[in-house]
Structure 1
Amino acid sequence: MRRIHVMAAVIRDADRRILIAKRPDSAHQGGLWEFPGGKLEKGESRHEALRRELREELGIEIDDARPLIGLHHDYPDKHIQLDVWEVSSFRGSAHGAEGQPVLWVRESQLPQFSFPAANQPIVTAAQLPDRYLITPDCNEHELFSGIERAIDSGIQLIQLRQTQLNADQYNELSKQVLARWGAQVTFMLKGESPPTESNTGWHLTAAQLRELVQQPTPVRPLPKGRWLAASCHNAEELQMAEMLEVDFVTLSPVLPTKTHPDALPLGWESAHAMLRRCRLPTYLMGGLTLAELNTAHHAGAQGIAGIRGLWPSSQ
Structure 2
Amino acid sequence: MRRIHVMAAVIRRADGSILIAKRPDAAHQGGLWEFPGGKLEEGEPRLDGLARELQEELGIHITNARPLIDIRHDYPDKSIRLDVWSVSAFSGEAHGAEGQQVRWVAPQDLGQYAFPAANKPIVLAATLPQRYLITPDNYDADQLITGLGVASGLGVRMVQLRQTELSQTDYANLATTLMAKTGEAVMWILKGEQPPLKGSGWHVTSAQLRELHAVGWCKGKRFATGPSLLQSADELERRPECEETWDGLLAASCHNAEELQMANDIGADFVTLSPVLPTQSHPGAAHLGWDRAAELAAMANMPVYLLGGLSLDDLERAQEIGAQGIAGISGLWPALKPR
TM-score range, shorter chain: over 0.9
Name the residue aligned to 2:224.
none
Cα distance between partner residues in 2 of 1:298 and 1:161: 28
Cα distance between partner residues in 2 of 1:220 and 1:131: 24
Counterpart of 1:296 in 2: which secondary structure? helix
Q: Stretches of 4+ moved more than 4 A in 1? A: 221-225
Name the residue aligned to 1:219.
218
Which digits, 9 at most, give the CA deviation of each residue in 1:171-218, with x for residues without a partner? 111111001103211010111111122x21111111111111111x42
Cα distance between partner residues in 1 of 2:276 and 2:191: 22
- Note if contact 1:9-1:35 (Cα within 8 Å) is conserved in structure 2: yes
Aligned-pair RMSD on alpha carbons?
Answer: 1.6
Which digits, 9 at most, give the CA deviation of each residue in 1:71-115, with x for residues without a partner? 111122222111100011111111111110011111111111111
Q: Which amino acid is 1:58 matched to?
A: L
TM-score by length of 1: 0.95
Cα distance between partner residues in 1 of 2:76 and 2:219: 26
TM-score by length of 2: 0.89
Unaligned runs of 5+ in 2: 222-244
Counterpart of 2:317 in 1: which secondary structure? helix
Matches within 5 A, 1:118-129: 118-129=118-129
Counterpart of 1:208 in 2: which secondary structure? helix
Select the structure of larger CA radius of gyration.
2
Matches within 5 A, 1:80-119: 80-119=80-119
Offset, 1:236: 0.8
- Note if contact 2:218-2:265 (Cα within 8 Å) is conserved in structure 1: no
- Note if contact 2:195-2:246 (Cα within 8 Å) is conserved in structure 1: no
Name the residue aligned to 2:166.
165
Offset, 1:261: 3.4
Q: Which amino acid is 1:180 matched to?
A: K
Offset, 1:314: 4.9
Given the alignment of the two structures, is residue 149 of structure 1 paired with residue 150 of structure 2, yes or no? yes
Matches within 5 A, 1:270-309: 270-309=292-331
Name the residue aligned to 1:134.
134
Offset, 1:221: 5.8
Counterpart of 1:182 in 2: which secondary structure? helix
- Note if contact 1:194-1:221 (Cα within 8 Å) is conserved in structure 2: no
Cα distance between partner residues in 1 of 2:336 and 2:163: 19
Unaligned runs of 5+ in 1: none
Which digits, 9 at most, give the CA deviation of each residue in 1:123-166, with x for residues without a partner? 11111111100011132243221111011111011001111212
Offset, 1:299: 1.7
Cα distance between partner residues in 2 of 1:147 and 1:8: 35
Aligned residue pairs: how many? 313
Counterpart of 2:5 in 1: which secondary structure? strand
